[in-house]
Amino acid sequence: MTEKSEILQQVRVIDPVSGIDRVMDVSIVDDRITAMVDRLEEIPSGVKVTDGRGLILGPGLVDLYSRTGEPGFEERETLESLQRSAVAGGYTRLTLLPETVPPLDTPAGLAQVRHRARTTVSPKPHCRFWGGLTCNLDGKQMAELADLVAAGAVGFTDGRPIDDGVLMRRVLEYAQIWDKPIALYPKRSDLVGDGVAREGVDSLRLGLPGIPVMAETSALAALLECVAETNTPVHVMRVSTARGVEAIRSAKEKLLPVTASTPWTHLLWDTTDLENYDPNLRLDPPLGTPLDRAALVDGVKSGTIDAIAIDHTPYTYEEKTVAFSEAPAGVIGLQYSFAMLWHRLVASGDWTPMDLWQATSTRPARCLQQPPPGVAVGERAELLLFDPQNPRTVEASEIYSRSRNTPLLGVFLGGQIVRTWCSIDSLEPL
């Protein structure tokens, strides 16, 4: 045995890929799982042994889309601080949006950022990058998609709405050549106006300009018509309304090639939580009503909404500490989202642990056309160890991100990530 050998004794193993949910002894040698048995009879001397009783070992988490400040806004976030946050939160794979400065809409820019991501901290998550669909991400002219594929783009998205329906259809037709994921955000910018909260009784009561549901659903209907016409697979980003969930369900029943995700925030908060005008709850899309949140929770659990996205969006203290209506939209979330989702959805009994791991690991990987992380003999150790019985309160001093724009400061969490195995240095590019 080598010095990198370790054994987790009597740990609960959860693996959505194989359907395993049982207590086992797990041996890891040189970042590869070498044994999974009910109990190891012999343990060689010199091997690190961890008492896993009460702990949960599961596959590493996969994020569909988040933002880094590097290049352009390093005061918000660097690739290094982003990766540290991800590892602390159990994320072994990140897929970053092209919304940098300059944007990742050219091969040179994409190659440079990919190289930088490979030369930062260790251990680190496996970073891949979306290439921009349009030049400057402005939704007016298609980017050089072939060159971006050659430079290593995982797929294409602007991370922003594309209002030009003709361009959207052409993009979907042209992008079929490469069989890469395409992620689109359905939002009618003209219907948003100066709105900052989901239109309804709460926005009226709180005096916040409202954004109608149809800002999402009308754009989503147009997008689904394009998918039906072209038969190009599309990932729908940031579904945030009950009617949006129903539209995705209907599209899947018609066998349209769509997958969908919702941000983690929209499963935990809704418009009733805006009472204190916390600028950290100013989001894009805005938080839904309680009915929207319930539909999203049910939609993710049932698989209608395939995945939970983190959509990590860092801002400095000065940028975010303003009035609610003036605050930029977005929050950070990689470090504590899994623990918070567990606390609110699993510990409450609404979801099983398997439900949560499917939505944060297995199905996001499949949306990206990647093999999902698994817990099996012979697999690399792309894992997280979670302690559901170790409560903690989120403190600003413990956040790895350079930004602190989160509604979780001072919030009690019922569990925490103990360790993350990335095994990334020896992985071939996904």
Among 311, 355, 387, 425, the one annotated catalytic: 311
User: What tokens were used for 67?
Assistant: 């933002």
Which alpha helices (H) appear in 70-153, and where do they start and end? 79-88, 107-118, 145-150
* 30 tagged catalytic: no
8 Å CB contact between 286 and 197: yes
Residue whose tokens read 């991400």? 137
DSSP 21-53: EEEEEEEEETTEEEEEES--S---TT-EEEE-T
CB 35 within 8 A of CB 25: yes
One-letter amino acid for residue 146 of the chain: A
Rounded to an integer, what distance in angstroms lies between the CA atom of residue 37 and that of residue 23?
Answer: 9
Go through 390-429 and write b for each residue having 16 or more CB atoms within 10 A of its CB, e for each that does not: eeeebeeeebbbbbbbbbbeeeebbbbbbbbbbbbeeeee
Longest dimension (CA), the chain: 67
For every residue of 123-140, DSSP letters joined together read: S--EEEEEEPSBGGGSSS
Active site residues: 311
